[in-house]
Amino acid sequence: MKFIGLLNDIIWGLPLILLLMFTHIYFTLKTGIIQHSLSKGIKISFRGNAFATLSTTLAATLGTGNIIGMSTAIFMGGPGAVLWCWLTGVLGMATCYCECYIGMKYKDTKNNKGGPMYALKYGLGMRKMAIAFAIFTMLSSYGVGCTTQANALSSSLNRQFHIATPTSGLICAILTGMVIIGGIKSISKFCTYLVPFMSLIFFAGCVFILIKCNNYIFPAIKLIIFDAFSFRNIALGTSSGIMGMFVSARYGIARGLFTNEAGLGSTAIAAGSSQLKSCHEQGLVSMSSVFWDTVVMCSITGVVIVSAMLKSPLDFANGDCDSLMNISFSLLGSKGDFLLSLCIVMFAFATLCGWFFFGESAAYYLINQLLHKKTHKEFAMKCYKISYIIMIFFGAVMNLELVWEMCDLFNALMVCPNLVCLFLLREEVKNNVLNS
């Protein structure tokens, strides 16, 4: 485990973070700042199947990372980390547009499947790299999308309702199985109801906290902006001490990259299942998911935490990286902890369903490339579904330190073939934008 941890520190250190930020900036310029078409993407996303695709994407990306992840970023990097996270989201929209456009263009229209693996195979003829991406995605689904989310869900239920983790793990596995058994149609339908509801609940909780901290909102925003570019950075109310601008940037950018998944290639898988005929329009719809996930949700989470810090600094004096949001929601009284627990449960459950679709799509591609008999393919797909459901239960009860390390590793390995695909097909994206 120490070796994997060391490897992750190297991979997810400055080189990969700079690579992804360079990618975001590069494609922002390459597409002529495609972000200016965000309003069009939002309008299109509320049409029929486009909204289902957006909801499935958000189900996977809107997870506990938006809550706990921002707490960690602020604890380690200070208030300025919020601005760096926001910038990552703004720039990351361009990368998301490009990878979803390509994933849509080279999709398997017969089976309505798409994503980087199809673009690598059909667009570049890189079959081995496509298989590698599918393997990494499938393995990541067991980690970032399954066990870690199940653990967060069961822990929250245990803390709030004193439900034993084995019990909550079993219930969660059964409920998830009921949703995913129907495939993409069932998942999309479920997500179109759950994602808006859970987002509104969390947003409402944040608004109530900001009302209580109304005198500290603008000071919090001012602190976030100035702290992001300050070489003398004090993380309020924490034991993290004085940090420099680059530490703030590191944790803010890393959180933004992790939560919106732009550059990872997973969002392109959801885009590939869309019924939209226009690759350009689907790219715009998918781009809006980064806006909602990072620019809106992560930003408001960050402002809530920093505002609460300014209002009640003593309450945060002994807080740790996982508890800042808990302390912030405590401003709502006894109902605050219940509301936050409810949000964590819903966010985690949504991610379980959304990431299953990513993993299933990767497994489908892999199985069809390696197996030939129809019966063998069907059996292999059933095995993936069953194993995913079983891993939900184990994720709820097991120690996840090693799992988290493996998740980070597989996510990094997903980035590599996806970025190769993006840069080799970049001219196609540029020409499309110009023609559109």
Cross-strand partners of 233:
243
Query: Which residue ranges make up each domain of the chain?
Result: 14-435
Other Cβ atoms less than 10 A from the Cβ of 7: the count is 14
Which comes out higher in pLDDT, residue 61 or 85? 85
Could you give the CA distance from residue 97 to residue 318 in angstroms, rounded to a whole number? 42
Number of Cβ within a 10 Å radius of residue 163 = 15
What is the per-residue pLDDT across 94-153, written as a single tens digit (0 to 9) for each? 999 999 999 888 888 888 888 899 999 998 999 999 999 999 899 888 887 788 888 888
Q: What is the DSSP letter of 238?
A: S
Residue count (the chain): 436
Query: What's the average model confidence in pLDDT over 67-79?
Result: 79
Share of the chain residues as helix, strand and coil, in percent rounded to the nearest 5: 80, 0, 15
Between CA 233 and CA 244 the distance in angstroms is 5
> Are 146 and 391 spatial neighbours (Cβ–Cβ below 8 Å)?
yes
User: b or e along 276-295 (b: 16 or more beta carbons within 10 Å of the residue's beta carbon)?
Assistant: beebbbbbbbbbbbbbbbbb
Looking up tokens 């309450």, which residue turns up? 315
pLDDT category of residue 234 using cuts at 50, 70 and 90 = very low
pLDDT at 365: 92
Mean pLDDT (whole number) for 236-250: 54
CA 395 to chain centre: 19
Per-residue pLDDT, 84: 87
Of 188, 199, 266, 238, the C-alpha closest to 81 is 238
pLDDT in tens, 8-56: 666 666 777 788 888 999 999 988 899 999 999 899 888 767 787 788 7
How sure is the predictor about 400, in pLDDT bands with cuts at 50, 70 and 90? low
Q: What's the per-residue H, E or C state across 370-408?
A: HCCCHHHHHHHHHHHHHHHHHHHHHHHHCCCHHHHHHHH
Q: With CA atoms as reference, report the closest residue to 356 among 383, 376, 335, 384.
A: 384
Provide the CATH topology of domain 14-435.
Hydantoin permease (1.10.4160)
Listed ranges 188-197, 205-214, 270-279; the one with the highest mean pLDDT: 205-214
Residue 167 tokens, joined: 């019990």
Question: What residue type is 97 in one-letter code?
Answer: Y
pLDDT of 235 > 70? The answer is: no
User: pLDDT value at position 28?
Assistant: 93
pLDDT at 5: 62
Which tens digits make up the pLDDT trace of 376-386?
A: 888 999 999 99
